[in-house]
Amino acid sequence: MADEATRDRVRALVRDVLSKTMPAESESAPRQATSSAGSSATLNSSAGGTVTRDESAKLVITEDDVRGLERGAVLRISEGARLTPLAADIVSDRGIEIVRRVPRTGLTQKRTVAVGADHGGYAMKEELKSFLTGLGHRVNDFGTNSESAVDYPDFAHAVARAVADHSVDVGIVIDGAGVGSAMTANKVPGVRAAACYSVEVARNSREHNGANVLTLGSKTISNDQMREIVRAWLATDLTEARHRKRVGKIEAIERQYQR
């Protein structure tokens, strides 16, 4: 009984921690290997196994997600998902096969990207332009063009309008925190702007929410983090019907308030 009570307290503590932060992947989690098809699976896993359970919509896999699985089951999770230590222990003890689902991505798709920034995001925007060009994308720069003080709504609006008018494929806006630009861009019908601070959130905003404008905070991330976030965001697409249905509901709500 004492052992069970201790386990319950540990599980409660883990859930509390997860509600506040994204944990690093456990060192005891199954090792991953990339297959020739571009997806990932546990080492020594059987190819083409039938998926027992699909938890690929989640970014964190807890013990509750794996406890009911039988020995040798196949669990599909998203590419960027993390297993809690207790979940990883169950997976290891029961020999559960982890298959990571990698979204069909646009890594090779060349896009026209509208970029904009206020004075706080100007320097990072210039880095972003070089990065996008290096990836083979076309860049439309809507300013600003110096570190002189300007108002972020002007540039977020310009980028959002370009996206809504379909003169570009997607847009990226940078200000100090990324929040104000997201608020501004989302006032333009047809725009779904997401302020992203990690690769996981960037992927989720595209795959689950169909974001077409990315906003970044120059004071919250480094240039290296910016590159990783942008790379992941551009490489992920909205493909699954269940996510498209939910984005359709977002669009339906938007139409209710248009005059």
Residue 224 has what pLDDT?
A: 94
Residue 11 has what pLDDT?
A: 63
Higher-scoring residue by pLDDT: 71, 127: 127
208 is catalytic: yes
Q: Looking at the predicted structure, is the pLDDT value of residue 17 above 80?
A: no
Contact by Cβ (8 Å): 84, 18: yes
Active-site residue among 137, 166, 208, 243? Answer: 208
If phi > 0 it is left, if psi is from -120 to 50 it is alpha, else beta; for residue 17 that is alpha
Residue 32 has what pLDDT?
A: 39
Contact by Cβ (8 Å): 243, 207: yes
The identity of residue 230, as a single letter, is V
Residue 125 has what pLDDT?
A: 98
Residue 15 has what pLDDT?
A: 58
* Confidence at 108, pLDDT banded by 50, 70, 90: low
Average per-residue pLDDT for the chain? 82
What 3-state DSSP class applies to 11? helix
Question: Which residues are within 8 A (CB) of 200 and not within 5 positions of it... i.e. 6 or more apart?
Answer: 22, 59, 80
For 213-232, how does the pLDDT look when each residue is reduced to its tens digit (9 = 90+)?
999 999 999 999 999 999 99
Higher-scoring residue by pLDDT: 186, 70: 186
Strands 40-42 and 97-101, bridge-based pairing: antiparallel
Q: Looking at the predicted structure, is the pLDDT value of residue 192 above 60?
A: yes
Residue 121 DSSP code: G
What 3-state DSSP class applies to 152? helix
Treating both helix axes as pointing N-terminal to C-terminal, what angle do 2-18 and 85-94 enclose, rounded to 10 degrees?
Answer: 120
* Confidence at 9, pLDDT banded by 50, 70, 90: low
Angle at 22 between CA 64 and CA 237, to 5 degrees: 90
For 52-63, how does the pLDDT look when each residue is reduced to its tens digit (9 = 90+)?
888 877 778 998
The answer to which of 29-33, 68-72, 113-117 has the lowest mean pLDDT is 29-33
For 127-157, how does the pLDDT look when each residue is reduced to its tens digit (9 = 90+)?
999 999 999 999 999 999 999 999 999 999 9
The structure tokens 């570009």 sit at: 168
Q: Where are the domains of the chain?
A: 2-101, 112-253
Enter the tokens of residue 44: 């020594």
Residue 6 has what pLDDT?
A: 62
Question: Which residues are within 8 A (CB) of 155 and not within 5 positions of it... i.e. 6 or more apart?
Answer: 116, 117, 118, 142, 143, 144, 173, 181
CATH topology classification for 112-253 = Ribose 5-phosphate Isomerase B; Chain: A, (3.40.1400)
Higher-scoring residue by pLDDT: 148, 68: 148
Select from 175, 233, 225, 231 the least CA-distant residue to 209: 233
Residue 72 has what pLDDT?
A: 87
The structure tokens 């359709």 sit at: 248
> pTM for the full model?
0.61
If one counts every other C-beta atom within 10 angstroms of the C-beta of residue 36, the result is 6
